[in-house]
Structure 1
Amino acid sequence: MQNRQLGTFPVSAIGLGCMNICHAYGAPVSEAEAERLLRAALDAGVTHFDTAALYGFGVSETLVGKYLSADRSRFTLASKCGMQGVDVTGDGKLVRVIDGRPETIKATCEAALKRLKTDVIDLYYLHRWDKQVPIEDSVGALSDLVRAGKIQAVGLSEVSATTLRKAHAVHPIAAVQTEYSLWTRNPEIAVLDACKALGTAFVAFSPVARGFLCGEMDVSRFDAKDIRRSMPRFSPENYAANAKLLPGYFAIAHEVGCTPSQLAIAWLLHRGDHILPIPGTRTAAHLLDDLGAADVALSADVMARLDALINQHTVVGSRYNAQGNSEVDTEAFAV
């Protein structure tokens, strides 16, 4: 596995997003399956593991800590604060809350360190910018955590180039994490270039377009808790329109000699050396397929054909619904 720079950390070019084992795409996998996936990733040479307080309201961090802490020196650990589960009514039921106040960030970090069974988190992101709190205040709290030795580097998730620059003026931003794939091109508006100019790594989540680029699916059979049910691109009518892009895409994968998921991740790797994809998965088999993308070489002609086939003009539907769009700070293409 080739390496790329994540701030000061050399990490595997392809990392592992640890959301899917307990969050977002229906019922979580069993703990044994989660352990199998995490250990398989480490054994396969993955040295970049990405989790968050939000995922399973602490479950993902707990599993990473339980099964990987004994090998802590072998990988770079990233997690996130600023969006987590909170018991707002006192009945024990947790709800997702965005809270970027300094005191909340510091408390979330302390809880994360315990769940992760570590003394320090290598890269700690603000999961969402709480627009009720100046970004300078939230990043200031993260900077305090660096000085306290609780975290080593600061990251931001789903922010614009303007917000990145404001934050970077307070404390160096090691990485920006945002959805990026053939069908989500928002980072190309400004933040990719801003990252390159500032020496900030760009971490691409959902590199296989939330499964869209892996193969045709029946959106009517999504689990009731699958977050894609609320995403406009996966509505039955929009998905039917978007699925028309897949035969041409699969044909290119066949021509290149790789799987569809490998093609999607390889496209990202070819977009820039400062781009680090973190596919998420629930199985070791899918993980190993994803990692094969590191060995896929794409010609300029293939890259151009992929760009022309799947982009912001050919994909139907917003990536988030109205609420989701209101919670992010990323640039967006005009509709």
Structure 2
Amino acid sequence: MPQRTLPSGFESSAQGFGCMGLTGFFDVSIPEEQGIEVLRKAFALGVTTYNTAYFYGPYTNQRLIGKAFKGMPREKFAITSKWGPMHKDHQFLPLDLSPSACRAAVEASLRDLQMDYIDVLILRAHGNSSNVPLEETIKGMKAMVDEGKVKHLGLSEMAPEDVRRAHAIHPITLVEMEWSLFTRGCEKDLVPLCRELGIGFLAYSPLGRGMLTGKLSLDSLADNDIRRQMPWFQGENAEKNLAVVTRIVALAEKKGCTAGQLALAWVQSRGEDVIPIPGTKSVKYLEENLGALKVKLTSKDLADLEAAILPDEVVGDRYSNLKAMTYEHGSSIS
């Protein structure tokens, strides 16, 4: 398994694993045994970074990971875990980013994971107005580092100016953000800033939430699948976006790989400081995703891929309320 080392020294397999879908969110949850099987297979194949969150599930994702990795050598894998949003009855509660809330989230994560430390604690502000200034939140996270409960700090979907503010309080190891052939807005300002500061990247949804695989059937989505609420997957938007994906499928056929592997290889080509974290519920697709590490892209391949999806051809926002979800509309924390 190829390895990548971020500027902070954080080491990872060149492809990580996004755990969110193992406990619902995209559609119905899978049996626990199936989730454990996928995680253990990923570990056996050399995947070392597993991205989760205290609030995934809600509140069941880390328990699954804890069961899957129980008894495995802790130094052989890394957990990147978000905190911030809290759920009750499938609704987000008012955001509490106080140091005491951070401590409570970390301690709950460690309990559920059955582990002594989190490798990277990631702040997910979720666009809500916080009850404390960003600097106080980061100081609360830094306290977890000082106590040995956390090794590194990260941020998720954060405005560039907030990344700079946070980094001034404590070095930020990575920023988690959506990055794929469908989502390239981060390249304008966030990516250059992070590279200036020596911050690496976790690229989530590198397969466009399944659309870039060329295998997605909108009719097959469960009624409670959150993609049904996302503009990309609705009406004419979906038809136009799926039409764009057919070009990726054609390029993949010429390359002798799947469309998903080609899309993942493109994300992997963005730099040695980029760790894509595709997720799956299937060992079959786990193995297919890891096969992208063997796809070598030439300069012509890259040019063809970027010509296949022009910036204004992907229609619809990533989220139904993009302003509330992402850094792209400015500072996300007061």
Q: Same fold (TM over 0.5)?
A: yes
Tell me, in whole angstroms, the C-alpha distance in 2 between the residues paired with 1:84 and 1:209: 25
**In 1, are the aligned partners of 2:10 and 2:173 still within 8 Å (CA)?**
no
Match of 1:20 in 2: 21
**In 1, are the aligned partners of 2:85 and 2:92 still within 8 Å (CA)?**
yes
CA deviations on 1:131-152 (whole Å, 9 max, x unpaired) are 3232212111111111111101
SS at match of 1:79: strand
Match of 1:329 in 2: 327
Query: Shift of residue 54 of structure 1?
Result: 1.6
2:261 is the alignment partner of 1:259: no
* 1:102 alignment partner AA: P
Aligned residues: 325
Match of 2:183 in 1: 184
2:64 is the alignment partner of 1:68: no
Match of 1:89 in 2: none
**Residue 119 of structure 1 is aligned with which of 116, 119, 140?**
116
Identity rate of aligned residues, in percent? Answer: 36
Query: Shift of residue 325 of structure 1?
Result: 2.8
* 2:136 alignment partner AA: D
Tell me, in whole angstroms, the C-alpha distance in 1 between the residues paired with 2:64 and 2:137: 27
**In 1, are the aligned partners of 2:323 and 2:329 still within 8 Å (CA)?**
no
Tell me, in whole angstroms, the C-alpha distance in 1 between the residues paired with 2:9 and 2:30: 33
Tell me, in whole angstroms, the C-alpha distance in 1 between the residues paired with 2:246 and 2:146: 52
Match of 1:135 in 2: 134
2:284 is the alignment partner of 1:288: no
Tell me, in whole angstroms, the C-alpha distance in 1 between the residues paired with 2:10 and 2:273: 12
Tell me, in whole angstroms, the C-alpha distance in 1 between the residues paired with 2:216 and 2:106: 38
**Residues 151-190 of structure 1: pairs in structure 2 closer than 5 A:** 151-190=150-189
The structure-2 alpha-carbon separation of the partners of 1:214 and 1:23, relative to structure 1 and needing over 3 Å to count, comes to same
Match of 1:90 in 2: none
2:104 is the alignment partner of 1:96: no
Query: Shift of residue 21 of structure 1?
Result: 0.5
* 1:330 alignment partner AA: E
**In 2, are the aligned partners of 1:185 and 1:311 still within 8 Å (CA)?**
no
Match of 1:148 in 2: 147
Match of 1:5 in 2: 5
**In 2, are the aligned partners of 1:201 and 1:275 still within 8 Å (CA)?**
yes
**In 1, are the aligned partners of 2:319 and 2:325 still within 8 Å (CA)?**
no
2:91 is the alignment partner of 1:84: no
**In 1, are the aligned partners of 2:201 and 2:273 still within 8 Å (CA)?**
yes
Match of 2:49 in 1: 48
Runs (5+) with no aligned partner, structure 1: 87-92
* 2:82 alignment partner AA: K
Query: Shift of residue 185 of structure 1?
Result: 0.8
Match of 1:236 in 2: 235
CA deviations on 1:204-250 (whole Å, 9 max, x unpaired) are 00000000011243324421221111110100210001111122111
SS at match of 2:22: coil
**In 2, are the aligned partners of 1:22 and 1:56 still within 8 Å (CA)?**
yes
Runs (5+) with no aligned partner, structure 2: none
SS at match of 1:78: strand
Query: Shift of residue 199 of structure 1?
Result: 1.1
Tell me, in whole angstroms, the C-alpha distance in 1 between the residues paired with 2:155 and 2:288: 28
Tell me, in whole angstroms, the C-alpha distance in 2 between the residues paired with 1:101 and 1:329: 20
**In 2, are the aligned partners of 1:54 and 1:96 still within 8 Å (CA)?**
no
Match of 2:106 in 1: 109
SS at match of 1:271: coil
Query: Shift of residue 47 of structure 1?
Result: 0.6
Tell me, in whole angstroms, the C-alpha distance in 2 between the residues paired with 1:149 and 1:281: 31
* 2:87 alignment partner AA: G
* 1:310 alignment partner AA: I
* 1:61 alignment partner AA: Q
Tell me, in whole angstroms, the C-alpha distance in 1 between the residues paired with 2:5 and 2:171: 15
- TM normalised by structure 2 equals 0.93
Tell me, in whole angstroms, the C-alpha distance in 1 between the residues paired with 2:96 and 2:218: 32
Query: Shift of residue 9 of structure 1?
Result: 2.3
**In 2, are the aligned partners of 1:9 and 1:76 still within 8 Å (CA)?**
no
* 1:83 alignment partner AA: P
SS at match of 2:86: strand
Query: Shift of residue 94 of structure 1?
Result: 5.3
Tell me, in whole angstroms, the C-alpha distance in 1 between the residues paired with 2:213 and 2:158: 27
* 1:22 alignment partner AA: T
